[in-house]
Amino acid sequence: METTIRPATSEDIPQILAYIRALAAYERAPEAVIATEESLERDGFGPKPFFFCLMAVYDGRTAGYALSFFNYSTWVGPGIYLEDLFVEPALRGLGIGKALLREVATIAMERGCKRLQWAVLDWNTPAIEFYKAVGGEFLDEWRTVRMSGAALERLATRGGAGNAGGSWNPEMDDTR
């Protein structure tokens, strides 16, 4: 049976959202998904898309997806960040994930990107082994930093801690 990879279209949005939710459940955070069909339409298929998505088709049916976006390194130039790579559990081990990753790498090379990067949870041994097998380099000395929700809003609207207008004290914050 053959795997084909194709660009996602807006008709794929319900399946993309289902895969996002399945991946979040696998990663033990199903409640974290706030994406909607409307937000995926706007952010991936509107006039200024923030991401691009590839769909894997195996034996005539959708089998997985890869969702990525372009980023930029001041050290080496343009790159691609692979946000999600997901293959339906019953179809894992058939080369579908590798085909998706290969297509993202091909896009990176065609667009002059200098690197492809992604994150993996430290307990996800099957993914870690897969990424090692395809030549992934683990950067253990780097720590992922994330800001969202109230902290992001605080920083954007008040400058966060140490701003010129005074420092923010989380114990005196009444916005929580």
As annotated, the active-site residues are: 131
Q: How far apart are CA 43 and CA 82, in angstroms?
A: 16
Q: How far apart are CA 43 and CA 104, in angstroms?
A: 19
For residue 40, what are the contacts with CB-CB under 8 A and spacing of at least 6? 13, 16, 17
Q: What angle do CA 123, 79, 128 make, to 5 degrees?
A: 15
Q: How far apart are CA 55 and CA 53, in angstroms?
A: 7
